[in-house]
Amino acid sequence: MSTITTPSSTSAAAPQKQRARRRVEPIFYFFLVPSLVLFTLAITIPGIIGIFFSFTNSIGIGDWDFVGLTNYIAIFSDPAILQSYLFTFGFSIVTVIAVNVVAFLLAVGLTSRIRMKSALRTVFVIPMVVSGIIIAYVFNFLFSNSLPSLGAAAGIPWLESSLLANPDLAWVAVVLVTAWQAVPGALLIYIAGLVAVPGDVYEAAEIDGASKFQQLLKITLPLVSGYVVINIILGFKGFLNAYDIIVGLTNGGPGTSTRSIAMTVIAGFNGGDYAYQMANATIFFVVAIVISLVQLSLTRGRNAL
Amino acid sequence: MTNQATLAIDDSTRGQAVTTGAGRRRSTPKVERVNWSATTILVLCAVTVLLPLYVTVSMAFKTQGQAVDGNAFSFPAPFSLDGFVQAWTLTNFPVGAAMSLLVTAGTVLATIILAAFASYAIVRNWERRLFRYSFFYLLGAMFIPFPVVALPQIQLTGRLGLDNPFGVILLATMFQLSFSVLLFTAFLRSIPMELEESARIDGATTWQTFWKLIFPLLAPMSATVGIFAFLYAWNDFMMPSLIISDPALQTLPVRQNLFQTQFSNNYHVSFASYLMAMAPAIIAYLFTQRWVMAGVTQGAVKG
């Protein structure tokens, strides 16, 4: 990050003195303060209130008492919450892998000598701009009506029943639709990485007799590894918040087999356990912070990107 | 930004190097070999992207009889607007569209203005602790998922009388602020100070300098910031569904959820409704592709 020198402190000889003399123009406070106030009101205060109430037995309204860590202890033995964490992490890991494999291969294809390059790129980005819940309803129809009737017509028995009605396989549908929507973001980042790879390394490899597949594995992949890291972390962070697509596809079902952490928090709140779900949200927040710290430590010093 | 241009240039030089390398014809003029197998595979992949969208469009134009016959992939015969007519009145589409438009326009405008204001103040006073810490403070929202603060936000907006589209505008803007401030500050740092100094010599105040010089220079970044705020606000389901308490004031994505049971098996009605809600975002994207693509790359690299 570069430091910006201001007009009055450009003389590096006495920056300390200059700084002391120069007053910040009041207009800059007018520029900055509205954002700070609204941000504090909309995000910081709710966050503090939430953490505060996670140590109480509040139901959202009326009287409450401090209950210490009771909520937190209860969460760690609550099968519904443990299941939502298990589902959300499992689903996120599978989706991250699927998205990155598909996006990387598509990016390699889209940066090679092909026809209709810009038209194809335009098409591949479309899933990113459609509403998650609406496209989930479209896929819901395809999974529960079209695929079974296709399966019946073709005589494939396992296709005849809806994927969404099967408690063991409904998560596959959630992965497919989430990946369908998440591939474009990862794809664009990989394209940016691939076009930055200088062409002459491939030329050299070619002369040394490396096959196309060897080039992909030994040259391309290591050279874009920074982009792989970024995509994995950005994707994982996003998938942990999964909500819209699951509501449209399975609404957490069958049973609670595809209920994400976010859905558990909201459903529990609607069911009246405010303080308990705030404790759950606070744990979720800590998880999100840990992942962000991992992101920072992995991407710091990768200025070559 | 210039991103697209660099992509295009890099693409062509890279392809050139590969073909010349392969053919060992470095001295002769290169022959561009089109990779037809890759083209074919990619076109097939593009079909899987377009298939759900095709089904949406074709189902929307079917008659009720054809919509329930079980063949989703058939072409509508005859073309019928019945689905649109019914969806229009059933979901009260004009009000839903107006609410979506209000939330989206409000979020886009508020995000661009607040983020540009704050970024300008931060970059020009970076040596001041207040401004420097404010930068990291505003960036903090990147690490806070909405579900974490959703429950207290539902309560607070309810108490403040903001359990309506205006509350959604406020919250959506605050969640968009981090990414937007990040993009704006990175861009502002690259604007040479001399430009502003000459404006000041001509007697311009900071307020005038911002509007006459800085804000126009920020235009490509504002486009990127704006299109992302647009896509988020137009498509989001979770936040409006939780914050807006009156169903009559709900946005289009939430309406699809509210009317899901009433659509029942009238698939031509539900798909017409989906199409009307989805189309504006797709059309907006087709006209603003370069900023969408630039935004993803810059957001990832700078984040």
In angstroms, what separates the C-alpha of A168 from chain B's closest C-alpha? 24
Residue A302 near residue A94, CB atoms below 8 Å: no
Inspect the interface and report whether the beta carbons of A5 and B193 lie closer than 8 Å: yes
pLDDT level of residue A23 (50, 70, 90 thresholds): confident
Checking if the pLDDT of B1 tops 70, the result is no
The chain B residue lying nearest A198, using CA atoms, is B14
pLDDT at B74: 83
Average pLDDT over residues A3-18: 43
pLDDT at B10: 38
pLDDT at A302: 52
Inspect the interface and report whether the beta carbons of A49 and B43 lie closer than 8 Å: no
Task: Report how far apart, in Å, the C-alpha atoms of A247 and of each of A184, B186, B244 are.
Answer: 22, 37, 18
pLDDT at A32: 95
Inspect the interface and report whether the beta carbons of B205 and A109 lie closer than 8 Å: no
Tens digit of each residue's pLDDT (9 = 90 or more) over A101-147 = 999 999 999 988 888 888 999 999 999 999 999 999 999 999 988 88
Checking if the pLDDT of A169 tops 70, the result is yes
Cβ neighbours of A38 in B, within 8 Å = 114, 170, 173-174
Tens digit of each residue's pLDDT (9 = 90 or more) over B97-111 = 999 999 999 999 999
pLDDT level of residue A22 (50, 70, 90 thresholds): low
d(CA A279, CA B148): 10
Interface ipTM above 0.95? no
Cβ neighbours of A138 in B, within 8 Å = 52, 55-56, 271, 274
In terms of phi and psi (left: phi > 0; alpha: psi -120 to 50; beta: otherwise), the region of A192 is alpha
Tens digit of each residue's pLDDT (9 = 90 or more) over A254-302 = 988 999 999 999 988 888 888 899 999 999 999 888 888 887 787 765 5
Average pLDDT over residues B232-258: 94
- Kindly report the average pLDDT of chain B as a whole number: 85
The chain B residue lying nearest A42, using CA atoms, is B171
d(CA B23, CA B26): 8
Mutate to test the interface with A, among B35, B149, B187, B270 (most CBs of A within 10 A): B149
d(CA A255, CA A167): 7
Cβ neighbours of A227 in B, within 8 Å = 300
pLDDT at A301: 52
Task: Report how far apart, in Å, the C-alpha atoms of B180 and of each of A15, A281, B104, B115, B129 are.
Answer: 31, 26, 16, 6, 21
Tens digit of each residue's pLDDT (9 = 90 or more) over A216-249 = 888 888 888 888 888 888 888 889 999 999 999 9
Tens digit of each residue's pLDDT (9 = 90 or more) over A36-71 = 999 999 999 999 999 999 999 888 777 888 888 888
- Kindly report the average pLDDT of chain A as a whole number: 85
Length of chain A: 305
Backbone angles phi, psi at A66, to 5 degrees: -70, 135
Q: Which CATH architecture has domain A89-268?
A: Orthogonal Bundle (1.10)
Checking if the pLDDT of A14 tops 60, the result is no
- Alpha carbon distance, N-terminus to C-terminus of chain B: 17
Tens digit of each residue's pLDDT (9 = 90 or more) over B254-266 = 999 999 888 878 8
pLDDT at A13: 43
Provide the greatest CA pair distance for chain B. Answer: 75
d(CA A156, CA A149): 10
Q: Exposed, middle or buried, B265 (CB in 10 Å: 0-12/13-18/19+)?
A: exposed
Inspect the interface and report whether the beta carbons of A9 and B55 lie closer than 8 Å: no
pLDDT at A114: 87
Q: At A67, which amino acid appears?
A: V
pLDDT at B11: 39
Checking if the pLDDT of B16 tops 50, the result is no
| Omega cis (within 30) before A254 | yes
pLDDT at B24: 43
pLDDT at B27: 45
Cβ neighbours of B149 in A, within 8 Å = 43, 46-47, 50, 281
Residue B144 near residue B82, CB atoms below 8 Å: no
**In chain A, what are the domain boundaries?**
44-77+271-304, 89-268
d(CA A281, CA A265): 7
Average pLDDT over residues B35-60: 91
pLDDT at A16: 47
Nearest to A237 by CA among B186, B49, B146: B146
Residue A201 near residue A219, CB atoms below 8 Å: yes
pLDDT at A247: 94
Partners of residue A56 on adjacent β-strands? A66
